[in-house]
Structures are given as C-alpha cells and as structure tokens.
Amino acid sequence: MNAEMKLGHEALLESLRGLGAADAQVAIVLGSGLGPLADAVDDARSVPYDEIDGMPSSAVPGHEGRLVFGELGGVPVVLQQGRCHLYEGWSAEEASRCVRCLAELGVDALLLTNAAGGLRPEWEIPSLMRLTDHMNLQRATPLALHERGRGTPYDVELGALIDGAAGEVGVDLHKGVYAALPGPTYETHAEVRMHARFGADAVGMSTAQEALAAHAAGARVAAISCITNMAAGLSDSEPNHEEVVEAGRQAGQDFAKLITAVVERIGSLGAEGNKNERA
C-alpha cells in the first residue's frame, strides 16, 4: 500500500469509527439493483459517501452511494449501499477499502451481494446463488505480501448458516462459483463458454477484492449473487445494465427475506470478540 492509499485507508478508518461503525455486528454490501434492502433497516441513519473522508464512490446506476446504519432483525448492521469497481478506475485497495476498515473495527461478519450473469441455462431468472468460491480474473489483488493465504475466503460455517436460513424461509438458493472479471464490457459468447468449461456458475465484475481484503483483516465472509440475466450467448438477448437492475428489483422480496433471516441467525449465535478492534 503506497503512502497515498495508506492515508486514505487511515482517513476512512477514523471516519467509520466516528460514525459508530464498530457497533455493527454485520456489514452488508449491496450490489446493482439490491439497494432497496436498506428500506428494511430499523432506526436507519444514512450518510452519503461524499461526506465520508477516504470513502471511494461509484458513478454506476443502481449504486446509491451511502452507508446505512441501524438494525436488521434486531441486529446492529451497517449497509454499504453501492460499491466502486475496478473498471471505474479504482484500485483493488480502494475497491475493498471500506470492508477492510469495517473488519479492522471489529465487525464480525461480512455479507457481500452482487448482480451476476448466470452460466447455468436451467436456472430461472432472477434467482439467488451463494458463492462457494470465486475465480479472481480481475488481474488485481488488495492483499499485501504478508497477507497471502490459502484456500477460499468464504467462511464454511457462515455458508452453512445461509443455506439453513434459506430453507427456513422458503427461498430457493443455488450454490456455485463466481468468476470475477474486470469489466466494464459484458463477456463475449466465447468467453462465456470458456468460463463455464473452467467451472464457473456465474460471472460478474465485483466481490472478489472485497472478499479477499475482509477475510485478510479477520472478518467472516459470505457472498450471495442475484442471477439477473443469462450470460451472453445463453439467451435470445444480449445483457444490459437496465435488465440487471430491474431483475435485482424483481428478486428483492426473496433477497430481503433471506438476508434478514441470515442476519437474525448471526445475531442469535453472537459475535465473539465483536466489540474488540483488530490490530
């Protein structure tokens, strides 16, 4: 991390501390079209990104650009309503800065969400998929040399909790591998066939950097994709952002039901060491 990025990181860390982010037990990042979950937060307090020192902001439609503090299902949460992307010119460190800072402040669990293109023609649109792993094909990493790790950043126990919550509230939930791509263009037909052959079940342009950074900083990480469209070449139409945002809205009810049940389960289990800042 160079000096400028370190200053940005420290500025955001202090900003989040001052906003009371350390009181949250669960952090949630909301992807394209999934922002309305913030409407379900009780005693909500929202702060625009441009009022938070050190906080990168996205200009992509469907990313409102604010942090929302409050309670979901009685559990203290902070929602990142919109994210920045590598294809907008942000670095891997900047794209993952907020979740890393939240983890360093002691937020125990991070739930990442995104809109993704499906590679499984048998899946309905829209539908939900829990990430069992990802392929980081973005040619970037937020990790320092001393943070190199092994295996997946996605927490197995948290994944099992999500599966159980989905069954409990009656939400169909696929499981699969997410291929994180640089963007901003959607994949070509040939690229879609290649990713499917390599073992991906969905493709998108986010999530991997955040998962890696938050995991390295000590948070438990899980992620859910809203499959908003079939990837290029798997349907009669080509992907477009308006379709993605609209499908995210259509999936909103099941998405909100599932995330709320997951947060409630995390809260009932408690967050060991949640109030202690990490070094």
What mean pLDDT do residues 166-183 have? 96
Q: What angle do CA 257, 262, 267 make, to 5 degrees?
A: 125
Q: Mind listing the pLDDT tens digit for each residue in 93-125? A: 999 999 999 999 999 999 999 989 999 999 988
Residue 37 covered by a domain: yes
How much is the pLDDT for 279?
A: 39
Residue 189 covered by a domain: yes
Residue 275 covered by a domain: no
Q: Which of 5, 11, 57, 88 is catalytic?
A: 88
How much is the pLDDT for 89?
A: 94
Res. 230: pLDDT tops 60: yes
Residue 198 covered by a domain: yes
CB-count exposure of residue 5 (10 Å: 0-12, 13-18, 19+): middle
Res. 276: pLDDT tops 80: no
Res. 211: pLDDT tops 70: yes
Q: Which of 22, 24, 109, 115 is catalytic?
A: 115
Percent of the chain surpassing pLDDT 70: 89
115 is catalytic: yes
Number of domains observed in the structure of the chain: 1
241 is catalytic: yes
205 is catalytic: yes
How much is the pLDDT for 67?
A: 96
Q: Which of 57, 71, 87, 135 is catalytic?
A: 87
Residue 201 covered by a domain: yes
206 is catalytic: yes
**Average confidence score pLDDT of the chain:** 89
What mean pLDDT do residues 68-92 have? 95
Residue 265 covered by a domain: yes
Structural domain harbouring 217: 3-269
229 is catalytic: yes
DSSP string of 156-225, one letter each residue: HHHHHHHHHHHHHHT--EEEEEEEE---SSPPPHHHHHHHHHHT-SEEESSSHHHHHHHHHTT-EEEEEE
Q: Which of 180, 229, 232, 247 is catalytic?
A: 229
CATH number of the domain within which 92 lies: 3.40.50.1580
CB 132 within 8 A of CB 176: yes
User: Who has greater pLDDT, 271 or 37?
Assistant: 37
Res. 91: pLDDT tops 50: yes
Q: How confident is the model at residue 250 (pLDDT cuts 50, 70, 90)?
A: low
Percent of the chain surpassing pLDDT 90: 71
Q: How confident is the model at residue 228 (pLDDT cuts 50, 70, 90)?
A: confident
Residue 75 covered by a domain: yes
Res. 50: pLDDT tops 80: yes
Res. 233: pLDDT tops 60: no
Res. 202: pLDDT tops 60: yes
CA distance 68 to 41: 8
Residue 278 covered by a domain: no
How much is the pLDDT for 131?
A: 98
What mean pLDDT do residues 236-242 have? 61
pTM of the model: 0.91
63 is catalytic: yes
What mean pLDDT do residues 28-57 have? 91
91 is catalytic: no
Q: Which of 205, 223, 256, 271 is catalytic?
A: 205
